[in-house]
């Protein structure tokens, strides 16, 4: 992969990368279509990265379908599907990590210790392997996109980071490979996440600035509609620092993570003041 990528770059060709863990859905494909417009060559990686799973999580049962992924990517005219083997990415004595210490500490980072270290490390490795000029990430994983941007800035990676909007099911549920775990009842409850976030967005639009009021409403709306959801966090944070705010003054993110019958789901909305 790296040999090929270095050849492309030496020939002056730009390269776009979309990193994924596979089991592709329309959310992934929207990133692929966006990336297609941004460079001469398009690489999609499919790698279920073991280091971003915390012990006890779903690493081994994470859904996989490489054949179907390959077919979908061929239909999107992707130039290279990079599908590395686990032991080709991590030597058995792998001992070097990329750690972002600020944005990665709250929200998902607080509940999945080591998760973002795995993400930043594998993305740094993918950047070295694929040599992209641009890489596209989804807004669904808002904290992840912010952590990657910070890593790129702090370590001077010569790559532009583009964030693409969250793609949703007709009832508003953010598409996710993990939605496949949900039985029909839990799938129906899962709508609550986006609905609750939309309530918060409307409260902000209507002028509510008290973060406690927004947070309380967010939690209540999830509890009402998804009685089986165990809320990990439901927070109102500064959209840049990802720190909880008391009063909304600038760009703000409402972010939630719940466990629904053992399946972990996340979602967010980012709100910006008008004018």
Which amino acids are annotated catalytic?
A: 28
H or E segment and range at residue 217: helix 211-225
Q: Can residue 31 be called a binding residue for ligand AMP (CB under 6 A)?
A: yes
Residue 142 Rama label (left phi>0; alpha psi -120 to 50; beta): alpha
Q: Can residue 43 be called a binding residue for ligand AMP (CB under 6 A)?
A: no
Closest approach, Cβ 139 to ligand AMP, in A, equals: 6
Binding mask 142-171 for ligand AMP (x = CB under 6 A): ----------------------x-xx----
CA distance 239 to 209: 14
Closest approach, Cβ 271 to ligand AMP, in A, equals: 18
Closest approach, Cβ 160 to ligand AMP, in A, equals: 15
Backbone angles phi, psi at 268, to 5 degrees: -160, 160
Closest approach, Cβ 236 to ligand AMP, in A, equals: 21
Binding mask 168-207 for ligand AMP (x = CB under 6 A): ------xxxx------------------------------
Give the residue, chosen from 5, 15, 17, 21, that forms a contact with ligand AMP under the rule CB under 6 A. Answer: 21
Q: Are 140 and 174 in contact (CB under 8 A)?
A: yes
Residue 245 or 266: the one with the smaller Cβ distance to ligand AMP is 266
- Torsion sign across C-alpha atoms 249, 254, 255, 256: positive
Q: Can residue 263 be called a binding residue for ligand AMP (CB under 6 A)?
A: no
Closest approach, Cβ 81 to ligand AMP, in A, equals: 14
- State in Å, rounded, how far the first CA of the chain is from the last one: 46
H or E segment and range at residue 117: helix 115-130
Q: Can residue 20 be called a binding residue for ligand AMP (CB under 6 A)?
A: yes
Closest approach, Cβ 143 to ligand AMP, in A, equals: 10
CA distance 132 to 1: 12
Judged by CB under 6 A, the chain residues 112 through 141 that form the site for ligand AMP are 137-138, 140-141
Q: What is the CA radius of gyration of the chain?
A: 19
Please report, for residues 21, 143, 155, 230, 245, the alpha-carbon distance to residue 101 in angstroms, rounded to integers and kept in the order given: 24, 13, 13, 27, 19
Give the residue, chosen from 28, 117, 187, 215, that forms a contact with ligand AMP under the rule CB under 6 A. Answer: 28
What contacts 68, CB < 8 A, 6 or more positions away? Answer: 24
Residue 112 or 140: the one with the smaller Cβ distance to ligand AMP is 140
Q: Can residue 217 be called a binding residue for ligand AMP (CB under 6 A)?
A: no
CA distance 121 to 49: 10
46: number of CA atoms within 13 Å, CB side?
24
Residue 109 or 138: the one with the smaller Cβ distance to ligand AMP is 138
- Residues near ligand AMP (CB under 6 A) are 20-21, 27-28, 30-31, 137-138, 140-141, 164, 166-167, 174-177
């Amino acid at each position: 992969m790296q040999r090929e990528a270095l050849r492309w770059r030496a020939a002056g060709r730009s390269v776009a990368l979309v990193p994924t863990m596979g089991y592709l859905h329309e959310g992934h494909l929207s990133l692929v279509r966006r990336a297609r417009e941004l460079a001469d060559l398009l690489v999609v990686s499919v790698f279920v990265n073991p280091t971003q799973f915390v012990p006890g999580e779903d690493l081994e049962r994470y859904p996989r379908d490489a054949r179907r992924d390959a077919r979908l990517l061929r239909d999107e005219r992707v130039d290279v599907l990079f599908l590395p083997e686990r032991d080709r990415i991590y030597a058995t004595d792998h001992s070097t990590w990329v750690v972002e210490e600020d944005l990665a500490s709250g929200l998902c980072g607080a509940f999945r210790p080591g998760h973002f270290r795995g993400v930043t490390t594998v993305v740094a490795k993918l950047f070295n392997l694929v040599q992209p000029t641009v890489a596209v990430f989804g807004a669904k994983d808002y904290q992840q996109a912010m952590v990657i941007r910070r890593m790129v800035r702090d370590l001077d990676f010569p790559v532009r980071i583009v964030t693409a909007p969250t793609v949703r099911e007709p009832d508003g549920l953010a598409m996710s490979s993990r939605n496949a775990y949900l039985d029909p009842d839990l799938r129906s409850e899962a709508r609550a996440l986006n609905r609750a976030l939309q309530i918060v967005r409307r409260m902000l639009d209507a002028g509510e600035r008290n973060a406690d009021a927004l947070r309380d409403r967010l939690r209540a709306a999830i509890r009402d509609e998804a009685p089986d959801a165990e809320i990990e966090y439901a927070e109102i944070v500064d959209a840049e620092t990802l720190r909880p705010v008391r009063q909304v003054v600038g760009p703000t993110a409402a972010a939630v993570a719940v466990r629904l019958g053992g399946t972990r789901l996340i979602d967010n909305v980012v709100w910006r003041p008008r004018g």
